[in-house]
Chain A
Amino acid sequence: MKRTVAKLAWLGMITTASMTFAQPPRDAGPGGRGRGPGGEGGGGVEESVTRLMAFDKNNDGKLSSDEIGDTRLKSLMERADANKDSVVTKEELTQLLNKEAQSRPDGGPGGRGPEGGMGRGGRGGPEGGPGGPGGRGPGDQGPMGMRPGTVLPPFLVEQLKLNDTQKISIAKLQATVDAELAKILTAEQQEQMKQMAQGFRGGREGEGRGPGRPEGDGRGPGRP
């Protein structure tokens, strides 16, 4: 019985891992830095397009006003509708979002600014988002979030639209996992793992533990 539980658990872990591998690179654009809006904690153009195309209920590759009933997106849809035919195609959307993302060439000040708040304790993990794509080393396209023992990789947290309570719960669970894993492994093993992970990733930037959003209290001056 216990074995079965363990097996199931492993299955879950492996599945999560393979999902991670299957995830396309977030920022396919040139230039090693995430030019995804907001850099860390943001999301690439591709991701934004996917989010919106989810409203394409009849799967014709276009968004009509019936499909996007949310008036808050009206302005975006109007900007995207290049040929003014009242329908927004995936291409039109991609074009607009690319254009608007480029107007913030450094990936925007999101989450990195020197004034960034301290982030409320315990929220750093999942809130931080998947981080920039890291350096352009061999690990650039590498398996993000493949830190051993990752409960839920950041992109999944994003995709599943976890609410704040869930994010906190996952962060707590992650902390437990990390702590328990640390107890099991010897110091050498941990060091070894760290080095392997770095080799993988070509930099620790992509770890999703980046400074993340300047969420938290923002008690620093000038962030009211």
Chain B
Amino acid sequence: MNSRMRLDRRQILRGTGAAGIAFFTTPGLFAEELLRTPSLTEGPFYPDKLPLDQDNDLILIKDSTTPSVGEITHLTGRILTSAGSPVRGATIEIWQCDANQVYINSRDSGSKKDQQDKHFQGFGKFETGSTGEYRFRTIKPVPYPGRPAPHIHVKVKLGGRELLTTQLMIRGHEGNARDGIFGSAGDLVNRELIMGDFLRVKESKIGEYACSFDIVLGRTPDDRQISGK
């Protein structure tokens, strides 16, 4: 009993000591230039069956000429490391409900067939080049029952590995303050990092919006690999 006790305690101490030492030697703690985009819940409606068309234009499905209902939004941005270098070859996926509040997930759309906008792709992806930039054409997000903050779900993958799951919300939207997920992003600074300005495109005759949303990935075990690319 006694010897076992000591063993256990030693194990514990070793664990604690490691953490204590790590604290003093963690390098580059303050070297980060960019604040990491907070991760947020994936939510229940990531597509259970990916659509045939998964391109970065969510307004038109395949060769259809009928656009989705909703306010067209050009969503652009860059995927960066916390040191500010662009992440190349990252896949960014977005998904959101259509203007009638239906996701392309059978658990949601199954009971809302009549409500669903059949012309909205609901999901799209894009692979970044050397500049880390991405681009989507989609609709300005709308609130969803239980989610007063309109939002676009975002997932970033690299080499098949998921690096970040988060949500983009509309800066200044009145629903944000009442939204549980928005509140869960952390402090006021973190909340800034998950919001984007949806600005009217001046030249647009059909009232399009543009939103720029940069995504900063945290340090991951693959960090070196990312910046080395």
Interfacial chain A residues near B209, Cβ < 8 Å:
none
Check A177–B41 contact: CB distance below 8 A.
no
1/0 per residue, CB under 8 A from A, across B182-202: the answer is 011111110111010100000
Within 8 A of A (CB), among B173-229: 177-181, 183-189, 191-193, 195, 197, 212, 214, 218-221
Check B17–A117 contact: CB distance below 8 A.
no
Q: A176: nearest residue on chain B (CB-CB)? A: B15
Q: B214: nearest residue on chain A (CB-CB)? A: A72
Interfacial chain B residues near A113, Cβ < 8 Å:
180
Known A151-B15, A151-B16; contact A97-B35, beta-carbon cutoff 8 A: no
Within 8 A of A (CB), among B141-196: 144-147, 153, 171, 177-181, 183-189, 191-193, 195
Check A97–B180 contact: CB distance below 8 A.
no
Q: Within the complex, which residue of B17, B36, B184, B218 is in contact with A38, where a contact is CB–CB below 8 Å?
A: B184
Tell me the bound Cα distance from A104 to B182 in angstroms.
12
Interfacial chain A residues near B108, Cβ < 8 Å:
224
Within 8 A of B (CB), among A138-189: 149, 151-152, 156, 160-161, 163-165, 170, 173, 176-177, 180-181, 183-184
A91 at the binding interface (Cβ < 8 Å): no
Tell me the bound Cα distance from A220 to B146 in angstroms.
11
Check A165–B220 contact: CB distance below 8 A.
yes
Of B19, B36, B43, B179, most buried by chain A (CB within 10 Å of CB) is: B19
Which of B20-28, B56-64, B85-93 binds A? B20-28
B69 at the binding interface (Cβ < 8 Å): no
Interfacial chain B residues near A208, Cβ < 8 Å:
none
**Smallest CB separation, B181 vs chain A (Å):** 7
Q: B20: nearest residue on chain A (CB-CB)? A: A12
B10 at the binding interface (Cβ < 8 Å): yes
Within 8 A of B (CB), among A167-224: 170, 173, 176-177, 180-181, 183-184, 213-224
Check A5–B188 contact: CB distance below 8 A.
no
Interfacial chain A residues near B184, Cβ < 8 Å:
38, 41, 110-111, 213-215
B50 at the binding interface (Cβ < 8 Å): no
Interfacial chain A residues near B21, Cβ < 8 Å:
8, 12
Check A15–B187 contact: CB distance below 8 A.
no
Check B188–A37 contact: CB distance below 8 A.
yes
A58 at the binding interface (Cβ < 8 Å): no
Known A38-B184, A214-B181, A222-B146; contact A70-B34, beta-carbon cutoff 8 A: yes
Interfacial chain A residues near B17, Cβ < 8 Å:
5, 8-13
Q: Within the complex, which residue of B20, B41, B177 is in contact with A215, where a contact is CB–CB below 8 Å?
A: B41
Tell me the bound Cα distance from A25 to B174 in angstroms.
31
Tell me the bound Cα distance from A213 to B186 in angstroms.
8
Tell me the bound Cα distance from A2 to B7 in angstroms.
11
Q: Which residues of B contact A (CB under 8 A)?
A: 5, 8-21, 23, 26, 29-30, 32-36, 39-45, 97, 103, 108, 144-147, 153, 171, 177-181, 183-189, 191-193, 195, 197, 212, 214, 218-221
Chosen A-B contacts, 16 in total, with CB atoms closer than 8 Å, are A9-B17, A19-B23, A36-B187, A38-B185, A70-B33, A110-B184, A110-B186, A115-B180, A151-B19, A161-B29, A163-B218, A163-B219, A177-B12, A214-B184, A218-B42, A221-B146
List 10 additional contacts besides A43-B186, A152-B23, A165-B220; criterion CB under 8 Å.
A13-B16, A37-B186, A38-B187, A51-B187, A72-B35, A110-B186, A163-B220, A173-B15, A180-B8, A184-B9
